Amino acid sequence: MRLMCHARPLVFCPLALCLVVAVASRALFAEETSGKPDRKPNRLVDEKSPYLLQHAYNPVDWFAWGNEAFAKAKADDKPIFLSIGYSTCHWCHVMERESFESEEVAEYLNEHFVCIKVDREERPDVDGIYMDAAHAMGNRGGWPLSVFLTVDRNPFFAGTYFPPEKFLQLCNRVIEVWKTEREKLETSASSIAERLQKQAAESSPTGQLQESQVQGALGWYRSQHDETFGGFGSQPKFPRTSNLDFLMRYARRTGDKEPLNIVYNTLDNMIRGGMRDHLGGGFHRYSTDRHWLVPHFEKMLYDNALIPRTLLDAYRVSGNPKYLDVVRETFDYLTTRMRDPEGGFYSAEDADTEHREGLTYLWERSEILEILGKERGTVFADYYGAAASGNFSDPHHPEDAGKYSVLHITLKGGEEDLAQKLGRPLAEIIKQLAEDRAKLLKVRDMRPQPFLDDKVLVEWNGMAISAFAHGFQVTGEERYLQVARKAADFILTRMVKDGRLYRRYRGREVAIQGFFEDYAYFVEGLIDLYECDFEERWLKEAVRLGKDMVRFFWDEKGGAFFSSATDQEQLFARRKEFYDGAIPSGNSVAFLDLLRLYEFTTDKYFGTHVEKFKSVAAEQLTQSPQHHPQLLCAAEFLFQRPLEIVVVGPQSDARTQAMLGEIRGRFLPSKIVVHAEGAAAANAMSGLVPLLEAKMAIGGNPTTFVCRDRVCKLPARDLETLRKQLDEAGK
């Protein structure tokens, strides 16, 4: 099974400029150590990015992205070779070992190019614009992204992974064209840049959000749903949980149960499959096959935040305890293996261990039987699909074919089916499997472990804060609230300078002014956190950063948000992203941020931008609704007419907690919730949240006000009344 980094490598097209390069299949790479400590470091040794540091001992004379490199290119009149990747990318590692560790390749690159390395996770602006250029050239893109630029940083050729012999051929051809057809090359590069500039600037949306746009997306999901294995399409299969988030919201508003069947089928197959780490918790990046069996093994913070949040909503809707079990496993993984001692979350774990993908996670059946004993080992191996013939193959190591297995649950009904099959009590089976998983995990933890990228990114931490906040709301477990609080405090105390949000923290260094996505996701996390403990500071920060988000990133002409701020480095085009891929776009998240902030504050500043954004959203959803599931979630927030819920009463009162628990346990995606300890606290906070004005606990009893469009039902002073009002509001 061939594994990939996010998108298919080796998919690229040359420009019509005689840059015709034959594409061969990937070369096998040798397993060898690089001997980096014996080499002289290059400039990257002074960087903080784990990805750049991985290349600090390459013989390639790398520059980091910056003025030094651009000045060098102009002074030497050399084209730029730009290589973009990230530290946990399998094919990035392969290209490093094959090409960037090669003295022959390095010598050629150093003589003819100025070579620049970029960490796409630190500089999504650079990665995004050159990925757009790759797409404009007819490529699907992927990482590593390999781009050739003029001295003015305009792209004239882009590809992804290249085997070393093809890479050298390409470099030779580029230099030949650079020397003999320079004018045509620069004209072509300028035309690509101009095309992307025009694409970013065009847009005068005038449409309106309407039901037909939602129906267009629903038709696509129905036609693409894999009824046998869940998910959409064939392979590879990505979690892309925003698809499921939309389907649950649509089902709630319309009462249509079919979308829920799609959601459950997808989640059930996904959590049984090998993409889930059944021993250590958490999820790998994606499935390389239709069956959710063999994953691409890297683990990203964003997947392990987004998937639990969707599972929590599915639990709210279905009451299926398996979803909650998987959430707890994933949260345990994040808090024990992916968390900075001071509270922030790390970015990712590598797909590779010692240059082999998945090595840490694979099992031989004989090994399982030896550790657990023949009887228990046989039960475990059969249940988790570790057959003697194996289910995993690595094209780089054909000698191991049929040797290793990826653990996955083989019985559709899980532990219940196993108990029935063996004729044993369910509780006994659950206990036995838990003990055996723990025993195997101890053995696995003694193996070499994948590389941990320990930088903290605000964008992805915003997702984690939101996930843990929802975890607290659903379970009531204080530990999840404390995790979310500590992560938010980490960002606010360490990653804000002079009022501005910064993107990356590593090694006690904060760097890179925050991009739009950092603001959008962190504001979302702060709002979700406020609805947990109702500390005013979270909402105040969400309002402040929400206004800064508009101030620095809003497009006054076309509406919506640019990815880079007005005072950040200006590349050859200023991007505006709407596509909801593995990570929902910042614009989709920010639209919902604005909607929620307006509901809380009734501030015309937010209201005005909401109205402008509606037209932008309508334009995107009219063109291709299936590409914007998170934007559809925001549309559903409007279509469902959000509830405004005020709870007044001491949080220490069990009756107040019962009311909050009733609200939090329901799937109410279109709502805001505010709380005040009493009438005085409500009035004091009414300047920020006008809905709180004149609200009080009536007769000394905790009281909830269920409102819509600022019109409230009669105060609910007991749990039964509140339940009835929420039932009615959901119809």
What is the predicted pLDDT for the residue at 27?
A: 27
Scored b (16 or more CB within 10 A) or e, 318-344 reads beeebbbebbbbbbebbbebbbbeebb
Over residues 429-453, the mean pLDDT reads 97
| Tens digits of residue pLDDT in 39-76 | 899 999 999 999 999 999 999 999 999 999 999 999 99
* Cα–Cα distance measured from residue 317 to residue 312, given in angstroms and rounded to the nearest whole number: 9
CATH code of the domain occupying 641-731: 3.40.30.10
Q: Is the pLDDT of residue 3 over 90?
A: no
What is the predicted pLDDT for the residue at 203?
A: 66
Choose the weakest-confidence range: 211-225, 506-520, 542-556, 637-651.
Answer: 211-225
Residue 84 β-bridge partners: 118, 145
What's the token pair of residue 432? Answer: 């036995």
Over residues 631-651, the mean pLDDT reads 96
CB atoms within 10 A of CB 281: 23
Q: Is the pLDDT of residue 22 over 50?
A: no
* Cα–Cα distance measured from residue 396 to residue 26, given in angstroms and rounded to the nearest whole number: 10
CB atoms within 10 A of CB 257: 8
| Tens digits of residue pLDDT in 175-225 | 999 999 999 999 999 999 998 888 876 666 778 898 888 888 999 999 999
What is the predicted pLDDT for the residue at 202?
A: 67
Q: Is the pLDDT of residue 24 over 60?
A: no
Residue 225 β-bridge partners: 232
Q: What is the dihedral of CA 477, 483, 486, 490, to 10 degrees?
A: -160
At 314, the amino acid letter reads A
Q: List the domain boundaries for the chain.
A: 36-201, 361-447, 641-731
Q: Is the pLDDT of residue 375 over 90?
A: yes
Residue 705 β-bridge partners: 646
* Residue 36: pLDDT band with limits 50, 70, 90: low
Nearest to 656 by CA among 719, 712, 603: 719
* Residue 13: pLDDT band with limits 50, 70, 90: very low
* Residue 394: pLDDT band with limits 50, 70, 90: confident
What is the predicted pLDDT for the residue at 319?
A: 97
Scored b (16 or more CB within 10 A) or e, 82-120 reads bbbbbbbbbbbbbbbbbbbbbeebbebbeebbbbbbbbb
Q: Is the pLDDT of residue 8 over 60?
A: no
At residue 547, the 3 state secondary structure works out as: helix
* Cα–Cα distance measured from residue 216 to residue 259, given in angstroms and rounded to the nearest whole number: 14
Average pLDDT, the chain: 92
CB atoms within 10 A of CB 181: 15
Rounded CA Rg of the chain: 27
Task: State residue 671 phi and psi, 5-degree precision.
Answer: -160, 160
Q: Is the pLDDT of residue 25 over 80?
A: no
Q: Is the pLDDT of residue 388 over 60?
A: yes
Cis peptide before 702 (omega within 30 of 0): no
Q: Is the pLDDT of residue 717 over 60?
A: yes
What is the predicted pLDDT for the residue at 37?
A: 58
On the question of a common fold for 36-201 and 641-731, the answer reads yes
Q: Which CATH number fits domain 36-201: 3.40.190.180, 1.20.1630.10, 2.130.10.10, 3.40.30.10?
A: 3.40.30.10
| Tens digits of residue pLDDT in 198-212 | 887 666 677 889 888
What is the predicted pLDDT for the residue at 503?
A: 98
Judge contact between 48 and 506, C-beta under 8 A. Answer: yes
What is the predicted pLDDT for the residue at 402?
A: 85
- Which helix (H) or strand (E) segment is 488 a member of? helix 478-494
Nearest to 656 by CA among 692, 714, 701, 699: 701
* Cα–Cα distance measured from residue 395 to residue 561, given in angstroms and rounded to the nearest whole number: 43
